[in-house]
């Protein structure tokens, strides 16, 4: 082993496999594909309307007609699934979120329309009360507390009404105890055996949700969500939540947010054989967009690096507002 450096006697040289682009492609371990992407979308009442969310540049709330175009676009780019979130007008909100299971509601209409117009796309619906709640909380409020068991009853009705409208997968994001099992039982009793459950299992009380709450006008009107969402300091507890959701019948589990929780994604991936989803949330999106707009980072490269890191950590699926942009880049 002769080296120009008399202090080195190298037998192993990892750089050999990084020397050329083709070698680097050959030893690449993680490949992000369009099949990994789920596109979260926002729907609102009205016709021919779209509103950009100020804290989420290039992401819009759409009236149903324009949303259908947006989803058709996504489908044409090869995206398999959308996660649907509604902006509910204030006068339809109440403490018990009753609008959430209105068979004539915005979500139910939207599901039916998507199924009719773009049947190939998988529809994932959000099960939680916050968009429908006067208080912006994920459950029924009494004396400043969030009621668990009473809320779960409403969530079951909400999930069944979404299934009835044609949802493929319901995704409880509320973090009430026992809701996955109750929803599974409710769906089965109503004959919706084939509707799956994507459980937001390890959902943290995160400051990264701010822009999303702007989009849905759903910020909590008092307090915060720490009595139901998890403490960002905890990791063991994520396994406890995942174990319960699996026992209760979840088909897939989720970690949310994603970027600050890559260690949790990895632990859960090692714990379960179920598909693991990660939610690249609104605040993560906003940070990248903000820095890119200042010219401080290379947006495309940062986006690909970030999503690839989530996949490397163990995510099988990634919910991301970058879905269309990434689908285009991956072409
Ligand atoms: C609420 C819900 C939230 C998000 C998805 N579902 C916000 C919250 O828990 O307050 C956040 C998604 C994002 O930030 O992109 N059930």
| Position 1 in a domain | no
Whether residue 1 is predicted with pLDDT greater than 60 in this model: the reply is no
Question: Is pTM beyond 0.90 here?
Answer: yes
Tell me the mean pLDDT in the region 202-225. Answer: 94
Ligand 1 atom nearest to CA at 210: 14
Residue whose CA is closest, atom 5 of ligand 1?
173
| Position 139 in a domain | yes
| Position 132 in a domain | yes
| Position 49 in a domain | yes
Active site residue 256: yes
pLDDT tier at 3, thresholds 50, 70, 90: confident
- Short-list 120, 232, 102, CA closest to 157: 102
Cα distance from N-terminal residue to C-terminal residue, the chain: 44
| Position 123 in a domain | yes
Q: Where are the alpha helices (DSSP H) in the chain?
A: 21-26, 64-76, 106-117, 149-165, 179-189, 210-216, 236-247, 262-271, 282-293, 299-313, 323-329
As a whole number of angstroms, the distance between CA 112 and CA 64 comes to: 11
Active site residue 203: yes
Instruction: Tell me the best of 82, 209, 213, 228 to mutate to test the pocket of ligand 1, counting ligand atoms within 8 Å of each CB and taking the most.
Output: 209
Q: What tens digit of pLDDT does each residue of 123-149 get? A: 999 999 999 999 999 999 999 999 999
Q: Categorise residue 305: left if φ over 0, alpha if ψ from -120 to 50, beta otherwise.
A: alpha
| Spatial contact of 323 and 70, defined as CB atoms under 8 Å apart | no
Task: Provide the greatest CA pair distance for the chain.
Answer: 79
Helix (H, G, I), strand (E, B) or coil at 73: helix
As a whole number of angstroms, the distance between CA 66 and CA 41 comes to: 11
Tell me the mean pLDDT in the region 186-197. Answer: 98
Which domain, by its residues, includes 164?
32-330
Ligand 1 centroid to 122 CA: how many Å?
20
Is ipTM over 0.85?
yes
| Position 7 in a domain | no
| Position 202 in a domain | yes
Q: What tens digit of pLDDT does each residue of 281-323 get? A: 999 999 999 999 999 999 999 999 999 999 999 999 999 999 9
| Position 9 in a domain | no
CATH of the domain at 112: 3.20.20.70
Angle ∠(275,280,285) on CA atoms, nearest 5 = 165
As a whole number of angstroms, the distance between CA 183 and CA 289 comes to: 37
Helix (H, G, I), strand (E, B) or coil at 51: strand
Whether residue 2 is predicted with pLDDT greater than 90 in this model: the reply is no
In the predicted model, what is the mean pLDDT of the chain? 97
Which of the following is catalytic: 256, 269, 289, 311?
256
pLDDT tier at 265, thresholds 50, 70, 90: very high
As a whole number of angstroms, the distance between CA 319 and CA 268 comes to: 17
What are the Cα distances from residue 52, in Å, to 49, 60, 118, 192, 226? 10, 4, 24, 36, 29
A 10 A CB-CB count for 104 gives 8
Q: What tens digit of pLDDT does each residue of 57-68 get? A: 999 999 999 999
The domain total for the chain is 1
């Amino acid at each position: 082993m002769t080296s120009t450096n008399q202090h080195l006697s190298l037998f192993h040289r990892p750089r050999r496999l990084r020397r050329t682009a083709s070698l680097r492609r050959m030893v690449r371990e993680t490949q992000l594909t369009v099949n990994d992407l789920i596109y979260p979308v926002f729907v609102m009442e009205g016709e021919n309307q779209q509103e950009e969310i100020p804290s989420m540049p290039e992401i819009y709330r759409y009236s149903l007609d324009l949303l259908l175009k947006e989803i058709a676009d996504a489908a044409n780019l090869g995206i398999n699934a959308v996660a649907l979130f509604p902006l509910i007008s204030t006068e339809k909100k109440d403490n018990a979120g009753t609008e959430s299971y209105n068979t004539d509601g915005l979500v139910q209409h939207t599901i039916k329309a998507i199924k009719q117009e773009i049947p190939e796309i998988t529809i994932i619906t959000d099960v939680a009360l916050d968009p429908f709640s006067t208080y912006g909380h994920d459950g029924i409020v009494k004396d400043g507390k969030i009621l668990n068991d009473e809320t779960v009853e409403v969530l079951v009705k909400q999930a069944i009404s979404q299934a009835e409208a044609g949802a493929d997968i319901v995704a409880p994001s509320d973090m009430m105890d026992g809701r996955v099992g109750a929803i599974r039982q409710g769906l089965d009793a109503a004959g919706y055996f084939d509707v799956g459950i994507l459980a937001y299992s390890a959902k943290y009380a995160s400051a990264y949700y701010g822009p999303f709450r702007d989009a849905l006008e759903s910020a909590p009107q008092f307090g915060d969500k720490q009595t139901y969402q998890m403490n960002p300091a905890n990791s063991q507890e994520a396994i406890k939540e995942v174990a319960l959701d699996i026992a209760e019948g979840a088909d897939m589990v989720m970690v949310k947010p994603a970027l600050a929780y890559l260690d949790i994604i990895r632990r859960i991936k090692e714990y379960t054989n179920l598909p693991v989803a990660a939610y690249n949330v609104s605040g993560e999106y906003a940070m990248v967009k903000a820095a890119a707009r200042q010219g401080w980072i290379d947006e495309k490269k940062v986006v690909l690096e970030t999503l690839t890191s989530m996949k490397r950590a163990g995510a099988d699926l990634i919910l991301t507002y970058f879905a269309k942009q990434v689908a285009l880049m991956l072409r």
